[in-house]
Amino acid sequence: MPMLSPPNRSLSRWTRGVWPLVVVAAGSAGCDAWRPSDARRLPPGATDETAGPRGVVALGRLEPAEGVVSISAVPGERLLTLHVREGDTVKPGQVLGRLASYELRARQLEALEVRLRLSGQERAHEARTAEAQLRQAVAAEAQASAKLEELRARGAGLEALAEAAILAEEDLERLRLLSRSDPELVTPHELRRQENATARATSESRAASIAHPLAVRAAEMALAAARGNVTLAEQTIAQLEQVDPTLAVAAERDVAAAALRQSELYAPGESGAEGAYRVVKVLMQPGEFVTQLPILQVADVRRMSCLAEVFEADKQELREGQAAAITSKALPEPYRTQGLRGKVRRIGTLVSNPDLESRNPLAPVDRSVVEVVVDLDPNDGDATAEAADNLGLQVTVEFAPASGAPSSGAPAGK
């Protein structure tokens, strides 16, 4: 970046005497009283080895202190709508525009919202069904347990039935003896009735002895099955609590929501946060396809700075906190002559080729520079507003002489 020529200590004293010198009135007035007209500027190739610290002049450009933010999208998308114009002020998180994919992704998100709602309803129905099955299984278990206890209680009556059959058989035998000894004492009718009672008692005893073990076995199996149903119902409820099928749908919904956000252009920052941005450049119009270039650019212009490109040999004359004045013929009065006031915030460490070109056709081009950031006075709202209206303006930066600055090496700190 062409700037003022570096001092050439090999030039003769005659050459140095040809160039006019400007006397610096720094002294006890300090940096706050310094003005650009006070700086002793040395012409290209001239040096003053006796006058002490000198002012440094460099080219620079005005830019937001936080830089310019480019708003872009995935290449290949088509810009559908743009809600802002150059110069508009937007809030953090505000929607600036939409891409053509927005409508399709919005419908996809809506479908997943419906699917998620139905999945939740289905899960709730399954949970209620599992609870009902658990209650039924518990009731069946209680019923089977009661039946088994009843059968086990009836087991004690088997001996009574067997004893009754034996007694009936003995009574029948006695009646037969009496009937043979005295036919008139036991009638045939009484004998047949006792035979029938004996047969019935014997049959009941035999049937009970056969059926009871089978009934007990069946009751035990029914109880085991009822208990298995209870366990299964409990496991189903536990699985519904641990494995939520709606989580997968919710994850798909979140992905669709994120994709939908990619179809919109947002101002930097979270919605509702403090701050404001100005739309400084619109590079695309609705209907155009997105490329590698940004769609628009925004910047926080509440704090402004100047990026100065200082000749590498002049770096030793600068330090952080040093006052500087920024002037340009494009600025209105009083900033055209007095300049925009600022202080050095950062002195770069990378030496590179300049990006700014001097408007002087005789200025050398084989120069190496370091970047120096000068913050404008944040309390001067008018100066900040004027700088914000001239983003990217190439300016002249005049640094106040740094008394006590080192003559060589790295710049001193604050």
Q: Is 153 exposed, middle or buried (0-12, 13-18, 19+ CB in 10 A)?
A: exposed
pLDDT confidence tier of residue 175, bands split at 50, 70 and 90: confident
Strands (E), 174-259: none
| Inside any domain, residue 258 | no
| Inside any domain, residue 285 | yes
Please, which residues bridge with residue 70 across strands? Answer: 297
Instruction: Kindly provide the b/e burial profile for residues 363-378, where b requires at least 16 CB atoms within 10 angstroms of the residue's own CB.
Output: beeebebbbbbbbbee
pLDDT confidence tier of residue 157, bands split at 50, 70 and 90: low
Please, which residues bridge with residue 130 across strands? Answer: none
How far apart, in whole angstroms, are the C-alpha atoms of residue 410 and residue 133? 82
Specify whether the CB–CB gap between 394 and 60 falls below 8 A. yes
| Inside any domain, residue 128 | yes
Look at residue 286 in the predicted model and tell me its pLDDT: 95
Mean pLDDT of 185-190: 75
Mean pLDDT of 267-274: 89
37: DSSP letter: G
Q: Which domain holds residue 364?
A: 13-67+302-399
Pair (231, 129) in one structural domain: yes
Pair (234, 124) in one structural domain: yes
| Inside any domain, residue 26 | yes
- Report whether pLDDT(198) > 70: yes
pLDDT confidence tier of residue 215, bands split at 50, 70 and 90: confident
- Phi, psi (rounded to 5 degrees) for 263: -90, 5
| Inside any domain, residue 212 | yes
Pair (206, 128) in one structural domain: yes
Order of strands, sheet of 79-82, starting from the edge strand that comes earlier in the sequence: 79-82, 95-99, 264-266
Pair (119, 55) in one structural domain: no
How many C-beta atoms surround the C-beta of residue 11 within 10 A?
15
Specify whether the CB–CB gap between 155 and 161 falls below 8 A. no
- Among the residue ranges 185-189, 198-202, 266-270, 296-300, the one predicted with the least confidence is 185-189
Pair (318, 388) in one structural domain: yes
How far apart, in whole angstroms, are the C-alpha atoms of residue 200 and residue 196? 6
| Inside any domain, residue 156 | yes
Joined together, the tokens standing for residue 249 give 């749908």
Total domains present in the chain: 3
- Report whether pLDDT(32) > 60: no
Pair (128, 232) in one structural domain: yes
Please, which residues bridge with residue 326 across strands? Answer: 340, 397
* CATH at residue 268: 2.40.50.100
How many C-beta atoms surround the C-beta of residue 165 within 10 A?
20
Question: Could you tell me the pTM of the whole model?
Answer: 0.58
Mean pLDDT of 341-363: 85
Which among 36-45, 158-167, 400-409 has the top mean pLDDT?
158-167
| Inside any domain, residue 357 | yes
Cα Rg of the chain (Å, integer): 51
- Phi, psi (rounded to 5 degrees) for 399: -90, 135
Pair (94, 157) in one structural domain: no
Specify whether the CB–CB gap between 35 and 326 falls below 8 A. no
Pair (130, 244) in one structural domain: yes
CA angle 101, 106, 112 (to 5 degrees): 130
- Phi, psi (rounded to 5 degrees) for 58: -145, 160
- Phi, psi (rounded to 5 degrees) for 194: -70, -35
pLDDT confidence tier of residue 39, bands split at 50, 70 and 90: very low
Residue 260 is which amino acid? L
Pair (318, 329) in one structural domain: yes
* CATH at residue 45: 2.40.30.170
Specify whether the CB–CB gap between 387 and 65 falls below 8 A. no
Specify whether the CB–CB gap between 107 and 196 falls below 8 A. no
Packing angle, helices 157-181 and 188-242, rounded to 10: 170
413: DSSP letter: -
Specify whether the CB–CB gap between 327 and 395 falls below 8 A. yes
